[in-house]
Amino acid sequence: MERTLARRTLLAATAATGTGVAWGTAGRAAAHGGKRGERGVAQGAVDAEVARLERELIALRRDLHRHPETPGQERRTAGVVARELRAAGLTVATGVGGHGVVGVLRGVRPGRTVAYRADMDAVPPKDIIGGGPAAAHLCGHDVHTTVSLGVARVLAPLRTRLSGTVVFVFQPAEETLSGARALIDAGVLERTGVEEIHALHCGPFPVGRFAVTPGYGLPGQDKAEVTLSGPDAPGDAGRLAAKIAALATVAQPQTPADLERLIADAQVPGGPLARFLAVRATAQGDTVSVSYRCWPEERYAEVRADIRRLAASYPGATVSFPADPFPAMVCPEPDGRRLARHLRRTVGRDAVVELHAAFPPFSGEDFALYLDRVPGTYTFLGVRAPGAPVTTAYPHFPDFAPDERAIGLGVRTMAGWLAERTSAAQRG
């Protein structure tokens, strides 16, 4: 119930924003129905362009990496992005929903409008696993931004063969789950008439592999607070916190072996992560604070009932849920399967791993808010170098260090994929 309400509120807020600024209504006038075929964007042309640009893109990523900016403070990164997009000839809007940047690339042929989203912010010190001295690009957003700029640079000179419109959305403040909301409220989807949205995220898979997520994605999050009364309220609070924590079906990984097991489990159809519940519950005085993530998100109601049931065994306990849950990111199945086919065609049959779980169970993504509105895909770009420790490819670890060969692979696949989607006769 809360979920529905939250989405309605969001949609109402979005509908209230204006339209018609410079970057608005991109491609709206173009008739749909352009055909993909020999005369469209050829993957060979994309690959040749990527080969030419790859070194430059790696240098660009290193520059972004050296200048990490916390959520909401992506001033310099946004400046680099806008400069690169303009140099490639795109129509660019800056300062969208904070430091957001939107670049519009119009193909010469009629077609659909498809968005590609990259996030720009670095990980704040407190969100680095074990804590860190300063913000750092330990979630791969520097790679995501570079891949997106690479796609823009590759497709721009091919626009005579490109159908429809590609909208490049560079989002601030992903780590605080606030940037997507700000961009949506600024009308980024409506103004450009976006019909689909796609994204890549660095993940702990071998470089050269992509992990597709049809039907899965990432969990949302919900919070509860229970207040106890009676002579041993603090003891009851401690016990209740432990009982609620024991509802969890998956524990935070503590060792590299735990991480490896989690990655393997996520690839097992109907495996241990097909449904899950991750919980954190703490007692302070007579109060228990709970924060949890689950999959599928229909389980929110069930988990809330479980928390109420456990609390009910303490007379006088009161339970409250202070806010609607943050929505899960659910990737539509048909889009994910279609992307898997594109990836197999482009980089080979072995290049595609399929996840059968929302992964990792302990993280959220505000890409969820876009996928609540339009279909699309969210795919993990393997960044683990051969023989490298798993933590070098697992976001938020202090030694996170993606294999940069992933950048060229990301650009090749996404440029081809977006050209395919803008030229699709219709969704399906």
Beta bridge partners of 354: 212
Q: Which of 200, 237, 266, 383 binds a copy of itself (CB under 8 A)?
A: 237
| Min separation Cβ 62 and a copy of itself, Å | 19
| Min separation Cβ 183 and a copy of itself, Å | 14
Other CB atoms within 10 Å distance of the CB of residue 156 = 18
Q: Which of 284, 291, 313, 318 binds a copy of itself (CB under 8 A)?
A: 284
* Three-state SS letters, the chain: CHHHHHHHHHHHHHHCCCCCCCCCCCCCCCCCCCCCCCCCCCHHHHHHHHHHHHHHHHHHHHHHHHCCCCCCCCHHHHHHHHHHHHHCCCEEEEEECCCEEEEEEECCEEEEEEEEEEECCCECHHHCCCCCCCCECCCCHHHHHHHHHHHHHHHHHHCCCCEEEEEEEEECCCCCCCHHHHHHHCCHHHHHCCCEEEEEEEEEEECCCEEECCCCEECCEEEEEEECCCCCHHHHHHHHHHHHHCCCCCCCCCCHHHHHHHHHHCCCCCCCCCCEEEEEEEEECCEEEEEEEEECCCHHHHHHHHHHHHHHCCCCCEEECCCCCECCEECCHHHHHHHHHHHHHHHCHHHEEECCCCCCCCCCCCHHHHHCCCCEEEEEEEEECCCCCHHHCCCCCCCCCCCCHHHHHHHHHHHHHHHHHHHCCCCC
- Residues in the chain, overall count: 428
Q: Which of 88, 114, 218, 283 binds a copy of itself (CB under 8 A)?
A: 283
Which of these segments, 52-60, 81-89, 268-276, 278-286, binds a copy of itself (CB under 8 A)? 278-286
| Min separation Cβ 290 and a copy of itself, Å | 11
CA distances in angstroms from 197 to 166, 238, 294, listed in the order given: 10, 44, 24
Which of these segments, 37-45, 123-131, 266-274, 419-427, binds a copy of itself (CB under 8 A)? 123-131
Q: Which of 89, 124, 296, 375 binds a copy of itself (CB under 8 A)?
A: 124
Residue 183 binds a copy of itself (CB under 8 A) = no
Q: CB nearer to a copy of itself: give 71 or 408.
A: 71
Residue 286 binds a copy of itself (CB under 8 A) = yes
| Min separation Cβ 233 and a copy of itself, Å | 8
| Min separation Cβ 386 and a copy of itself, Å | 34
Residue 236 binds a copy of itself (CB under 8 A) = yes
Residue 196 binds a copy of itself (CB under 8 A) = no
Q: Which of 14, 43, 70, 413 binds a copy of itself (CB under 8 A)?
A: 70
Query: What tokens does 75 get?
Result: 């001033």
Residue 133 binds a copy of itself (CB under 8 A) = yes
Q: CB nearer to a copy of itself: give 182 or 303.
A: 182
Q: Which of 7, 223, 227, 238 binds a copy of itself (CB under 8 A)?
A: 238
| Residue 80-119 contact track with a copy of itself, rule CB under 8 A, x = bound | ------------------x---------------------
Which of these segments, 69-77, 266-274, 292-300, 368-376, binds a copy of itself (CB under 8 A)? 69-77
Residue 285 binds a copy of itself (CB under 8 A) = yes
Which of these segments, 23-31, 48-56, 72-80, 379-387, binds a copy of itself (CB under 8 A)? 72-80
Q: How many Å apart are CA 92 and CA 90, to the nearest integer? A: 6
Residue 239 binds a copy of itself (CB under 8 A) = yes
Which of these segments, 239-247, 366-374, 378-386, 396-404, binds a copy of itself (CB under 8 A)? 239-247
Q: Which residues bind to a copy of itself, rule: CB under 8 A?
A: 69-73, 75-76, 98, 124-126, 133-135, 176, 178, 232-239, 241-243, 245, 280-286
